[in-house]
Amino acid sequence: MALILHAGKNNKNAYKTLIAAEYSGVDVKLAPNFEMGVSNKTPEFLRFNPIGKVPVLETPDGPIFESNAIARYVVRLNGDNALYGSSLMDYAHVEQWIDFSTLEIDANILNWYRPRMGRTTYLPPAEEAAISALKRALGALNTHLASNTYLVGHFVTLADIIMTCNLFMGFTQLMTKSFTSEFPHVERYFWTLVNQPKFHKILGEVKQAETVLPIQSAQKPKEAAKPKKEAQPKKEAPKVEEKPKEAEEEEAPKPKPKNPLDLLPPSKMILDEWKRLYSNTKTNFREVAIKGFWDMYDPEGYSLWFCDYKYNDENTVSFVTMNKVGGFLQRMDLARKYAFGKMLVIGSEPPFKVKGLWLFRGQEIPQFVIDECYDMELYEWKKVDISDEAQKELISQMIEDCEPFEGEPLLDAKCFK
């Protein structure tokens, strides 16, 4: 006997169960003539789920609500099912990625989507926060997928089904190609999954959003009504001089506050000049570029920092290690105006060491970089003491890509400029 799923046919949370059923060989049918806003308000439905949310699965043993719980139930109906992996560790990782996709991906997509649909008050700062949090999550997912076709193991699991369905609304309603191109491994993963036969049977043809969903009937806070003044005898209105254009301009909305680094005292070091010197020096690098750096360097306006990756023992695959570094530099793009960096992957045999040198505007690592780039916490950071000649020489070697470096060959050297 078929299990009955109460939900609309275009509900992305219902897709989780329907796709899981395809992989598990379980017969699940959508409730006929289901109408959102009507069917889920009936007394019969409210006995299934007292708060009227969908989807709900009707089973011989009673109803189940919450989409992830329903999908888990369907998967477990078939005891011989690979959707939970082949070991206890696989099972834990499947659950890990289900939680991640729910709390970090789906929650932030919904925080972006709902205000634009008019379901909550639209506030630009709240939208910016949701997009920022979503990008951070997609960055983490992108790093994992750089070396993995699927989330767990080498086959589709329930984690992939739930992750893909949670990404579905983002790709089709909000995340345009220009947005997702920052996360190429997530793109590859999503399009690989939605074109699998069992996914395609449920989802049909999937098209990426060409524009961000427009704001629809946004509920903006209303201004408090001003108390009416008592009626006064009419007087001849005095002539009002036309307001000068300059006054109108003065009353225009104030621009957003500048980045705190823009408010620092001017520095004698012009970062763009150093970047040009670095890029244009092709010969005699030590005599031209390195000497030029130390001539330009302003220890009052800038600071230098070493960073060492905390988990070098995990760097056992060369291309995965290089992808980690590449992803880190990609997410550091927000600091391009205020920073210069060199990242070295060191060694000819695994595990490979990752070490970096960073030049930042100001005397500390910028707080907005710490807040927005989650990779920062994966490194130990140490401020350079330029009075130490050994540290200065190490900086020169890192800028120059000197090899051997600390007695070992360089696997890769990347520059952020």
The whole-number pLDDT of residue 306 equals 97
Q: In 3D, which of 275, 319, 312, 305 has the Cα closest to residue 369? A: 305
Q: Which residues contact 336 (CB under 8 A, 6 or more apart)?
A: 416
Residues of the chain with pLDDT > 90, as a percent, come to 66
Banded pLDDT at 242 (limits 50, 70, 90): low
CA distance 137 to 135: 5
What is the DSSP code (8-state) at residue 221?
Answer: P
156-174 mean pLDDT: 96
Give 3-state DSSP helix, strand, coil % of the chain, rounded to 5. 50, 15, 40
What tens digit of pLDDT does each residue of 58-75 get?
999 999 999 999 999 999
Cα dihedral 222→224→225→226 (10° resolution): -140
Q: In 3D, which of 38, 72, 75, 69 has the Cα closest to residue 55? A: 69
What tens digit of pLDDT does each residue of 127-142 get?
999 999 999 999 999 9
- CB-based burial, 366-377: b 16+ in 10 Å, e otherwise: beebeebbebbe
CATH number of 3-77: 3.40.30.10
Q: In 3D, which of 104, 95, 103 has the Cα closest to residue 140? A: 104
312-337 mean pLDDT: 87
pLDDT for 327 beyond 80: yes
Q: Domain 82-203, what fold?
A: Glutathione S-transferase Yfyf (Class Pi); Chain A, domain 2 (1.20.1050)
Hey, what are 294's tokens?
């130390």
Taking CB atoms within 8 Å and a gap of at least 24, the contacts of 30-38 are: 30/4, 30/5, 31/4, 31/5, 31/6, 31/7, 31/58, 34/6, 34/7, 34/8, 34/9, 35/8, 36/8, 36/11
The whole-number pLDDT of residue 259 equals 86
| CA quadruple 55, 96, 138, 152: dihedral sign | negative
Q: Phi, psi at residue 353, to the nearest 5°?
A: -95, 140
Hey, what are 65's tokens?
């609500």
CATH architecture of 271-416: 2-Layer Sandwich (3.30)
pLDDT for 409 beyond 50: yes
The whole-number pLDDT of residue 232 equals 54
Instruction: For the chain, give every domain's residue range.
Output: 3-77, 82-203, 271-416
The whole-number pLDDT of residue 264 equals 92
The whole-number pLDDT of residue 47 equals 87
The whole-number pLDDT of residue 323 equals 82
